[in-house]
A and B are shown apart, each in its own frame.
Chain A
Protein backbone atom coordinates (compact mmCIF):
# COMPACT_ATOMS: atom_id res chain seq x y z
CA UNK A 1 0.00 0.00 0.00
CA UNK A 2 1.21 3.49 -0.77
CA UNK A 3 1.96 5.66 2.19
CA UNK A 4 1.30 9.38 2.47
CA UNK A 5 2.46 11.09 -0.70
CA UNK A 6 3.75 14.65 -0.76
CA UNK A 7 4.83 16.81 -3.65
CA UNK A 8 7.09 18.42 -4.48
CA UNK A 9 9.90 16.96 -2.36
CA UNK A 10 11.92 20.13 -2.73
CA UNK A 11 10.84 23.65 -3.59
CA UNK A 12 13.04 26.69 -4.02
CA UNK A 13 11.30 29.97 -4.64
CA UNK A 14 11.88 33.68 -4.36
CA UNK A 15 10.37 35.84 -1.68
CA UNK A 16 6.93 37.08 -2.67
CA UNK A 17 6.05 34.08 -4.81
CA UNK A 18 3.13 31.77 -4.18
CA UNK A 19 3.96 28.25 -3.02
CA UNK A 20 1.60 25.28 -3.06
CA UNK A 21 2.40 22.05 -1.27
CA UNK A 22 0.38 18.94 -1.98
CA UNK A 23 -0.55 15.86 0.03
CA UNK A 24 -2.34 12.61 -0.69
CA UNK A 25 -3.23 10.80 2.54
CA UNK A 26 -3.40 7.04 2.95
CA UNK A 27 -6.61 5.69 1.45
CA UNK A 28 -9.28 5.21 4.09
CA UNK A 29 -7.74 7.61 6.59
CA UNK A 30 -10.17 10.26 7.78
CA UNK A 31 -7.83 12.77 9.40
CA UNK A 32 -5.02 14.80 7.91
CA UNK A 33 -2.42 16.96 9.61
CA UNK A 34 0.00 19.55 8.23
CA UNK A 35 3.18 20.11 10.25
CA UNK A 36 6.18 22.38 9.87
CA UNK A 37 9.62 21.45 11.19
CA UNK A 38 12.34 24.00 11.86
CA UNK A 39 15.50 23.92 13.94
CA UNK A 40 14.21 26.65 16.22
CA UNK A 41 10.65 25.44 16.84
CA UNK A 42 10.80 21.70 16.19
CA UNK A 43 7.68 19.98 14.85
CA UNK A 44 4.68 22.33 14.88
CA UNK A 45 1.10 21.41 13.98
CA UNK A 46 -0.27 23.92 11.48
CA UNK A 47 -3.74 22.57 10.78
CA UNK A 48 -5.82 19.43 11.30
CA UNK A 49 -8.65 18.18 9.10
CA UNK A 50 -11.20 15.54 10.05
CA UNK A 51 -13.45 14.16 7.31
CA UNK A 52 -12.19 16.97 5.05
CA UNK A 53 -13.28 19.68 7.50
CA UNK A 54 -10.69 21.92 9.19
CA UNK A 55 -10.94 21.26 12.92
CA UNK A 56 -8.06 23.28 14.33
CA UNK A 57 -6.07 25.85 12.39
CA UNK A 58 -4.70 27.68 15.41
CA UNK A 59 -1.18 26.71 14.40
CA UNK A 60 -1.33 28.48 11.04
CA UNK A 61 1.20 31.27 11.53
CA UNK A 62 -0.61 34.05 9.69
CA UNK A 63 -2.99 34.92 6.91
CA UNK A 64 -0.38 34.19 4.30
CA UNK A 65 -0.94 30.50 5.01
CA UNK A 66 -4.06 28.65 3.88
CA UNK A 67 -4.98 24.98 3.60
CA UNK A 68 -7.73 23.14 1.82
CA UNK A 69 -8.98 19.58 1.63
CA UNK A 70 -11.45 19.40 -1.26
CA UNK A 71 -11.84 15.62 -0.94
CA UNK A 72 -10.67 12.68 1.14
CA UNK A 73 -7.65 12.01 -1.06
CA UNK A 74 -6.09 15.43 -1.51
CA UNK A 75 -4.99 18.45 0.47
CA UNK A 76 -3.00 21.58 -0.27
CA UNK A 77 -1.07 24.03 1.86
CA UNK A 78 -0.55 27.39 0.21
CA UNK A 79 1.74 30.22 1.21
CA UNK A 80 1.19 33.57 -0.48
CA UNK A 81 3.29 35.61 -0.49
CA UNK A 82 6.20 33.49 0.70
CA UNK A 83 8.93 34.91 2.94
CA UNK A 84 12.43 33.64 3.81
CA UNK A 85 11.27 32.77 7.35
CA UNK A 86 8.86 30.23 5.83
CA UNK A 87 11.84 28.08 4.88
CA UNK A 88 11.32 24.73 6.62
CA UNK A 89 10.35 21.13 6.02
CA UNK A 90 6.60 20.70 5.74
CA UNK A 91 5.10 17.32 6.61
CA UNK A 92 1.69 15.89 5.97
CA UNK A 93 0.37 13.03 8.11
CA UNK A 94 -2.82 11.02 8.14
CA UNK A 95 -4.62 8.63 10.46
CA UNK A 96 -7.96 7.04 11.25
CA UNK A 97 -9.23 8.86 14.32
CA UNK A 98 -11.55 7.01 16.68
CA UNK A 99 -9.34 4.02 16.08
CA UNK A 100 -5.74 5.10 16.52
CA UNK A 101 -3.53 7.91 17.72
CA UNK A 102 -0.75 6.81 15.37
CA UNK A 103 -0.14 9.26 12.57
CA UNK A 104 1.55 8.22 9.35
CA UNK A 105 3.84 10.80 7.84
CA UNK A 106 4.80 11.61 4.30
CA UNK A 107 8.44 12.23 3.33
CA UNK A 108 8.06 16.00 3.63
CA UNK A 109 8.60 18.97 1.34
CA UNK A 110 11.74 20.99 1.94
CA UNK A 111 10.89 24.62 1.16
CA UNK A 112 13.57 27.24 0.65
CA UNK A 113 12.52 30.84 0.15
CA UNK A 114 15.32 33.13 -0.99
Chain B
Protein backbone atom coordinates (compact mmCIF):
# COMPACT_ATOMS: atom_id res chain seq x y z
CA UNK B 1 0.00 0.00 0.00
CA UNK B 2 1.62 3.23 -1.16
CA UNK B 3 1.58 5.88 1.52
CA UNK B 4 2.98 8.55 -0.80
CA UNK B 5 1.62 8.75 -4.32
CA UNK B 6 2.70 10.70 -7.34
CA UNK B 7 0.05 9.83 -9.86
CA UNK B 8 1.61 11.53 -12.88
CA UNK B 9 4.57 9.55 -14.23
CA UNK B 10 5.49 12.43 -16.52
CA UNK B 11 4.73 16.08 -17.23
CA UNK B 12 5.69 18.24 -20.18
CA UNK B 13 5.79 22.04 -19.79
CA UNK B 14 6.83 24.90 -22.05
CA UNK B 15 9.92 26.84 -21.00
CA UNK B 16 8.94 29.96 -19.07
CA UNK B 17 5.59 28.58 -17.94
CA UNK B 18 4.65 27.19 -14.54
CA UNK B 19 5.30 23.53 -13.70
CA UNK B 20 3.05 21.99 -11.05
CA UNK B 21 3.95 18.60 -9.62
CA UNK B 22 1.51 16.87 -7.31
CA UNK B 23 1.81 14.44 -4.44
CA UNK B 24 -0.81 12.76 -2.24
CA UNK B 25 -0.30 10.92 1.02
CA UNK B 26 -2.43 8.67 3.18
CA UNK B 27 -0.70 8.65 6.56
CA UNK B 28 -1.97 11.47 8.79
CA UNK B 29 1.09 11.01 11.03
CA UNK B 30 3.38 12.49 8.40
CA UNK B 31 4.51 15.92 9.54
CA UNK B 32 7.41 16.77 7.26
CA UNK B 33 7.53 16.68 3.49
CA UNK B 34 10.40 17.02 1.06
CA UNK B 35 10.91 17.33 -2.68
CA UNK B 36 13.97 15.89 -4.35
CA UNK B 37 15.22 16.29 -7.89
CA UNK B 38 17.10 13.58 -9.75
CA UNK B 39 19.11 13.77 -12.93
CA UNK B 40 20.09 10.59 -14.83
CA UNK B 41 23.13 8.80 -13.43
CA UNK B 42 23.09 10.93 -10.27
CA UNK B 43 21.64 10.53 -6.80
CA UNK B 44 18.54 12.50 -5.75
CA UNK B 45 19.30 15.99 -4.45
CA UNK B 46 17.22 17.87 -1.91
CA UNK B 47 15.17 20.72 -3.35
CA UNK B 48 12.72 22.11 -0.81
CA UNK B 49 10.75 20.98 2.23
CA UNK B 50 7.77 21.94 4.34
CA UNK B 51 6.67 21.24 7.87
CA UNK B 52 3.07 20.37 8.60
CA UNK B 53 2.71 23.53 10.69
CA UNK B 54 3.00 25.55 7.48
CA UNK B 55 0.95 25.59 4.31
CA UNK B 56 3.52 27.21 2.04
CA UNK B 57 7.29 27.41 1.70
CA UNK B 58 9.08 29.36 -0.98
CA UNK B 59 12.68 29.28 -2.20
CA UNK B 60 13.40 31.27 -5.31
CA UNK B 61 11.54 29.77 -8.26
CA UNK B 62 10.31 26.85 -6.14
CA UNK B 63 7.24 26.91 -3.91
CA UNK B 64 5.72 23.98 -2.05
CA UNK B 65 2.09 24.09 -0.94
CA UNK B 66 0.63 21.77 1.69
CA UNK B 67 -3.09 21.05 2.11
CA UNK B 68 -3.33 18.89 5.22
CA UNK B 69 -7.07 18.37 5.06
CA UNK B 70 -6.74 16.97 1.55
CA UNK B 71 -3.44 15.20 2.35
CA UNK B 72 -2.00 16.81 -0.74
CA UNK B 73 1.10 18.78 -1.56
CA UNK B 74 2.34 20.37 -4.72
CA UNK B 75 5.57 21.81 -6.04
CA UNK B 76 5.38 24.89 -8.25
CA UNK B 77 8.30 25.92 -10.43
CA UNK B 78 8.03 29.40 -11.95
CA UNK B 79 9.35 30.11 -14.49
CA UNK B 80 10.34 26.67 -15.73
CA UNK B 81 13.79 26.38 -17.25
CA UNK B 82 15.39 23.66 -19.40
CA UNK B 83 17.66 22.68 -16.48
CA UNK B 84 14.57 21.78 -14.48
CA UNK B 85 14.06 18.72 -16.68
CA UNK B 86 14.53 15.85 -14.23
CA UNK B 87 12.63 13.33 -12.15
CA UNK B 88 11.02 14.85 -9.05
CA UNK B 89 10.35 12.76 -5.97
CA UNK B 90 8.05 13.62 -3.12
CA UNK B 91 8.95 12.16 0.30
CA UNK B 92 7.37 12.24 3.74
CA UNK B 93 8.36 11.51 7.30
CA UNK B 94 6.95 11.56 10.81
CA UNK B 95 8.53 13.07 13.90
CA UNK B 96 9.11 9.70 15.50
CA UNK B 97 10.91 8.25 12.53
CA UNK B 98 13.54 9.89 10.39
CA UNK B 99 13.00 7.43 7.59
CA UNK B 100 11.56 8.90 4.40
CA UNK B 101 8.66 7.35 2.54
CA UNK B 102 9.03 8.05 -1.17
CA UNK B 103 6.67 8.56 -4.06
CA UNK B 104 7.33 6.91 -7.40
CA UNK B 105 8.52 10.13 -9.02
CA UNK B 106 7.34 12.40 -11.85
CA UNK B 107 9.50 13.01 -14.87
CA UNK B 108 9.36 16.69 -15.80
CA UNK B 109 10.28 17.68 -19.34
CA UNK B 110 10.74 21.36 -20.12
CA UNK B 111 10.26 22.08 -23.80
CA UNK B 112 12.22 24.98 -25.34
Q: How far is the CB of B14 from chain A (nearest CB, A)?
A: 28
| Cα distance A105–B45 in the bound complex, in angstroms | 7
- Of the listed stretches A14-22, A62-70, A79-87, A90-98, name the one at the interface; the rest are far from the partner chain: A90-98
| Cα distance A85–B45 in the bound complex, in angstroms | 27
The number of inter-chain residue pairs (CB within 8 angstroms) is 42
Q: How many residues of A contact B (CB 8 A)?
A: 20
| Cα distance A38–B49 in the bound complex, in angstroms | 25
Note all chain A residues with C-beta closer than 8 A to B45: 105
Which A residues are within 8 Å of any B CB, using their own CB? 4, 31, 33, 42-43, 45, 48, 56, 91, 93, 95, 97, 101-108
Which B residues are within 8 Å of any A CB, using their own CB? 32, 34, 41-46, 49, 89, 93, 98-100, 102-105
